[in-house]
Structure 1
Amino acid sequence: MELYPGFALYRGLYELAQFSFEGNSSGASGMKWQNLSESTNGMKEVLIIMFAEWIVMLFAAFYIDQVLSSGSRKNPLFFLKGSQKKSPLQKLGTQMQVSKVFSQIEKPDVIQEKEKVEMLLLEPTINHAILCEDLKKVYPGRDGNADKFAVRGLFLSVPQGECFGMLGPNGAGKTSFINMMIGLTKPTSGTAFVQGLDIRTQMDEIYTTMGVCPQHDLLWENLTGREHLLFYGRLKNLRGSILTQAVEESLKGLNLFHGGVADKQVGKYSGGMKRRLSVAISLIGDPKVVYMDEPSSGLDPASRKSLWNVVKHAKQNRAIILTTHSMEEAEALCDRLGIFVNGSLQCVGNAKELKARYGGTYVFTLTTSSEHEKDVENMVQKLTPNANKIYHLSGTQKFELPKEDVRIADVFEAVDAAKRKFTVSAWGLVDTTLEDVFIKVASEAQTFDTLS
């Protein structure tokens, strides 16, 4: 019975209790080490059994956890395969299965971008500044959790002179993508080419033509802004008067020149000043490719406007990939936009194309007295029976009007006619915004991911 751990434990506690009881009655000091060899108490056998059971149960618990764990369940005979990692063919099979699932939701513009990349890769020389070919990043699951797919088979082309805006909710994989492009992490599979150089094997050469503004400022508190730019300028092979001129232009462009700001220690900078310095560092040395991860976060409106002017000027002779949560910034700076959700690109195009594709409605708002609310509904129904009321509070109503059903002139005429019948306090007609497109695309993609 002592082969069962509970009985062995009970037997050991019983023997200790007996020695303790006898020690109290006779004045002895209880059980000692020499008592273990006595055949009368069986304590030695108990300890041997419990030590052996501890080893057996440890391996049994590990085996059961590996086989029955819901997060990373394994074959019951997994131990016969050793501790070898998956072969490349097995990994490729897994990735192909994931790719098949997500190819079901690929939009025509994403497929067109993929075909464009494949055509460019067939050319003898790669002239595009950035080409991503089926780029994937998978973080292995730990403690029973499933693998995390940060980037799922990304195909992207960014030519020289273009600012590509990458939009997406937090955790979509934007920073993981940039980390692969700048060499901080290696892709799980696929690759990308920067100025024709492969990020897997030629990263040292890419560094000389690349600028980076990371999401979090990487600065030395004891150095001044000017010293930072001098240091990074030398890394980009700038020397003498060329280096001095480049530093002065960077400081002036980002409003860090006047008031002695350039010669203050960075530890005394505000958050916005540090952000501007990070942008200046990314542009010094005339890099051909620049990555900006949320460059305007923490900036006041005047500094943001100044930053936008710098980026607009900088993109004329270089490729820029910019991530942002500001739809206004995306429209102002980016020639093309891509919305990134759950590690995959959901749509690609300029702001006007995305609005036309995903924003097929006008938002019509009208405010009147409560007794005329029904008249407003009747007026909207005459404009289009497909109108959808999305808001109603104390005489103010909002309707979504399909663009294909109404003309703007008809809405103006209907409101003028309504004003002659009852009092209209306020009204407005708004086109779809980029923010509406972003919310719609992100919610649709996340809904699909939840269902799948």
Structure 2
Amino acid sequence: MRQKMADAAANPADCSLCVGEDGNGGFVSVAPNATGGLSCDLRCALPRAPKWPPVLQIPPPESRAVSDGGDLAAGASCRATASCGVAFLVTGSNRSFVASVMDNMIPAHNSSVKLSSDISALADYVLADEDSYNGFGVSSFLQKKCTPNLTLSFAFQSGNITETKDVGCNQRLMLWRDNSWLINDELHRGYYQGNNKKKTNEIAAAYDFLSSDKGNFNVFISYNSTKRFDAYDAGITLTFNKGGWQEPKPVHVPRLINMASNAYLHLRSSSLKISFDFVKEMPRAAILSMGPFDISSLIGQLPYVWTMELLFPVILTSIVYEKQKKLRFFLLNNYGVQFVYYFAYMNLQISFAFLVATCFSSVRTATVTGYFYIIGSGLLGESLFRFYVEDVSLSRYWITLLELFPAFSLYRIIYEFAQSALLENNMNSSGMKWIDLNDPKNGMRSVLIIMVLEWFLFLLLAFYLDHFGSFQNGIRKAAVLFHSHIDKKTIQLQEFKASADNEKADVIKEREMVEQLLLESNNSCSVICDNLKKVYRGKDGNPKKVAVKGLSLSIPRGQCFGVLGPNGAGKTTLINMLTGFTKPTSGTAYIEGMDIQFEMDKIYAGIGVCPQHDLLWETLTGREHLMFYGRLKNLRGAALAQAVDQSLKSVRLFAGGVADKLLGTYSGGMKRRLSVAISLIGDPKVVYMDEPSSGLDPASRKLLWNAVKSAKQDRAIILTTHSMEEAEALCDRIGIVANGSLQCIGNSKELKAKYGGSYVLTVTTAAGEVEQMKRLVQFISPTMQRVYHISGTQKFEMPKQEVRICEVFQAMEHTKSRMTVSAWGLADTTLEDVFIRVARESDSTSSMN
């Protein structure tokens, strides 16, 4: 190779001379460059890349680390004879296991071998390269112990020619180290640092098996990723253009992993093995070279250079302008004074930004406000604050008060620095010095004190507000830390008394149950809502909106609790508070004993959420969604794969390859089912489902119900829905919410018995017989109520305690002989009737209030 390049150098006119094969089926050519040397470039296409064996990079013999009493020694005698072994450093928590792995790391071959078959026959041999170009790129093969004259012969394809190569044996040294710190230190000391640096104690690689054992395999591998190239003949340079020529690179990482993996598999079963047969390059097209100074490389740099250089005249103009106008007070005042003041102000600015950020939830609003702050404070400083500073008759206390505003502190600093510089120019003053800070006239000491104090104060306030949301919540947190449970109840007592008068017996009983549970140290309730309240501030002159009014609720494990209510009743707001999306105005809730006000970071690990609107990524597949959320729930490996498959099957998204399609191809119902599957993965103890079956067809809804029934066995589920059928099928208890408050609570039968204790009689007669039918029904049930009347069809509610079903049937059969009865029917109260009645009563009560 070198001889061919030298021949080309002697004959620079022959620019297309092929000087050697690159080992990949392509060729290397040289051309004269501007300095009289040669540039090397790839010109030939590589449509079908040949196979070549994976090669491990090892240090050259003269710089290898050797073992000497457990340490690495330089200057060993084996370096002179090029017989030093190849060192690998190993460590791990289980030394006996690591020793067993190391014994099986490299297959043993006790005699010379000659291979003439396909290149895949080399898979059982760990081929190595000593960092320098050496024909095919293989210089030896590794063995646990090398016998004299042990060689390996194999055939390989070079262009259109089949060649044979013989390589010798290199012995591997497995050196144990007690911990990874020792390994890191030795790797650093033996790291290759350049052609002109001394190279000793180089390590081939290092293995840290961490906590691996026979049932758990986890390894951390360190290797040298640099590539060593020795200098060629003078005047010849190698040029590597984009996609250009390279010699066959050793494949470090795959071979290192393959060695460790096969050793571990051998411990599990002697018949298991991962065969690493060969590697291939990507096919490539021919590359047209224009030499080292081609147009594309030149133009590619210019835009960036021009862009950066455009800043130079701007900076230059500003500096010369300051020099011309004698405005360079930065040079006239003491650098140390300026550094301290500017450093203090910049940190104050950062802490002030953190504090102000607690007031914003929109980036656009914060940005606009920030610019208004800059412009407004600058104008006020120049037009107002400056005259206050220059007016000696004004009390300095007012100046100090204004400097509490950070922008005015900055203006005062710049003003005083400028005045000191002006005095130096006109009166031979020395500018602002450290001693001048004691002068009460310039006020610089007070400005510095204000900035430093505000710096720390703003940081503390920003942390406080970011963590608690408001001063009220922070005070309440302090009360909890001091176990002042009674004081907390005193604060809420007035709200409780105001609402208790309007609450029904079942709601009051539930509130008392919550109070009792809060007094117990251990209870079986997964969710306890303690007088939760959420009030939204009114905007644009509108009154405030009370979304949730003092709701108290307890949900034990293994129960599905249904929350029913009309639109705007507060269902989603309740879910948002329990999941941490919205902070409650007052009250709190405990999820598995943890307070939502202060421990949401811990709560998130044990809950699942199916929100009302799907929170999904269109560019991910259904399986990828579940893999992502499963990892967030600390699922790994086989457990994660099993949980993902089970979740997909439970919502009928597994078959037909649906799970591996992008979400953009899913229908609305399929996305809804995926959201339910996400909420159940990872075995959460509490699951929130906000209208989970919306948009589902009847068959999918039935499958979803089965999944929910199966999931509620060992967890608490809170489910909001508008489907009465769904509530009766899934929910063990139901709470109806209207106007932000809990109106009633109980199971389906209890609610229908208490709030719907009546039969519903529907009768269709001729239009002229409507009143006659009404009188007949009133005779059967004196306290009946007609709840529906249109075109001869009437619907009556009759209390169960004053009606016998047999009497209704007898009366209607007798009436058919005297009146025209087209149709009639008698039905028991449904959950839907209860819902409508409770909602209507709540609206009437709210309007009266």
What is the TM-score when the length of structure 1 is the normalising length? 0.76
Q: Which moved more, 1:267-276 or 1:364-373?
A: 364-373
Q: CA separation in 2, counterparts of 1:97 and 1:142? A: 26
CA contact (8 A) 1:126 1:195 kept: no
Q: CA deviation at 1:389?
A: 3.0
2:574 corresponds to: 177
1:166 equivalenced with 2:555 (yes/no): no
1:332 equivalenced with 2:729 (yes/no): yes
CA contact (8 A) 1:173 1:343 kept: yes
The 3-state SS of whatever aligns with 1:315 is helix
1:258 corresponds to: 655
The 3-state SS of whatever aligns with 1:218 is coil
Q: CA separation in 2, counterparts of 1:95 and 1:117? A: 14
Q: CA separation in 2, counterparts of 1:101 and 1:203? A: 30
Q: CA deviation at 1:437?
A: 1.3
The aligned amino acid for 1:243 is: L
Which of 371, 385, 388 aligns to 2:785? It is 388
Write the deviation string for residues 19-42 of structure 1: whole angstroms up to 9, x where unpaired.
Answer: xxxxxxxxxxxxxxxxxxxxxxxx
User: Which ranges of structure 2 fall in alignment gaps of 5 or more residues?
Assistant: 1-382, 385-469, 477-487
Which of 506, 510, 527 aligns to 1:109? It is 506
CA contact (8 A) 2:495 2:550 kept: no
Q: CA separation in 1, counterparts of 2:795 and 2:630? A: 54
1:301 corresponds to: 698
2:617 corresponds to: 220
Q: Which moved more, 1:397-406 or 1:110-119?
A: 397-406
Write the deviation string for residues 154-184 of structure 1: whole angstroms up to 9, x where unpaired.
Answer: 1100000100001111222111111111111
Q: CA deviation at 1:185?
A: 2.0
1:271 corresponds to: 668
1:147 equivalenced with 2:515 (yes/no): no
Q: CA deviation at 1:417?
A: 2.3
Q: Which moved more, 1:399-408 or 1:388-397?
A: 388-397
The 3-state SS of whatever aligns with 2:507 is helix
Q: CA separation in 2, counterparts of 1:357 and 1:227? A: 48
Distance 1:369 1:141, change over 3 A: closer
2:523 corresponds to: 126
Which of 261, 286, 289 aligns to 2:683? It is 286
2:463 corresponds to: none
Q: CA separation in 2, counterparts of 1:340 and 1:153? A: 12
2:601 corresponds to: 204
The aligned amino acid for 1:314 is: A
Q: CA deviation at 1:148?
A: 2.3
Higher helix share: 1
1:348 equivalenced with 2:745 (yes/no): yes
The 3-state SS of whatever aligns with 1:129 is strand
User: CA RMSD for the aligned pairs?
Assistant: 2.5
CA contact (8 A) 1:225 1:262 kept: yes
Q: CA deviation at 1:370?
A: 4.8
2:587 corresponds to: 190
Distance 1:98 1:351, change over 3 A: same
The aligned amino acid for 1:210 is: I
The 3-state SS of whatever aligns with 1:281 is helix
1:415 equivalenced with 2:812 (yes/no): yes
The 3-state SS of whatever aligns with 1:338 is strand
Q: CA deviation at 1:294?
A: 0.7
The 3-state SS of whatever aligns with 1:156 is strand
Distance 1:412 1:278, change over 3 A: same
1:446 corresponds to: 843
Q: CA separation in 2, counterparts of 1:201 and 1:337? A: 28
2:210 corresponds to: none
2:640 corresponds to: 243
Q: CA deviation at 1:275?
A: 0.5
The aligned amino acid for 1:209 is: G
1:74 corresponds to: none
Distance 1:318 1:394, change over 3 A: same
- Of structures 1 and 2, the one with the larger relative CO (CA 8 A, separation 6+) is 1
Q: CA separation in 1, counterparts of 2:760 and 2:692? A: 32
Q: Which moved more, 1:187-196 or 1:378-387?
A: 378-387
CA contact (8 A) 1:127 1:196 kept: no
Q: CA separation in 2, counterparts of 1:402 and 1:92? A: 41
Distance 1:369 1:94, change over 3 A: same
CA contact (8 A) 1:99 1:152 kept: no
Q: CA deviation at 1:435?
A: 1.4
Write the deviation string for residues 91-110 of structure 1: whole angstroms up to 9, x where unpaired.
Answer: 99996555443222111111
CA contact (8 A) 1:365 1:427 kept: yes
Q: CA deviation at 1:427?
A: 1.3
1:79 corresponds to: none
1:429 equivalenced with 2:816 (yes/no): no
The aligned amino acid for 1:340 is: V
Q: CA separation in 2, counterparts of 1:402 and 1:132? A: 35
CA contact (8 A) 1:294 1:322 kept: yes
The aligned amino acid for 1:309 is: N
Q: CA deviation at 1:440?
A: 1.6
Write the deviation string for residues 286-337 of structure 1: whole angstroms up to 9, x where unpaired.
Answer: 1110000111111111111111111111111110000111111111111111
The 3-state SS of whatever aligns with 2:713 is coil
1:27 corresponds to: none
1:67 corresponds to: none
Q: CA deviation at 1:267?
A: 1.2
Q: CA deviation at 1:254?
A: 0.4
Q: CA separation in 1, counterparts of 2:489 and 2:591? A: 24
- From the CA coordinates, give the structure whose radius of gyration is larger: 2
The 3-state SS of whatever aligns with 2:759 is strand
Distance 1:139 1:370, change over 3 A: closer
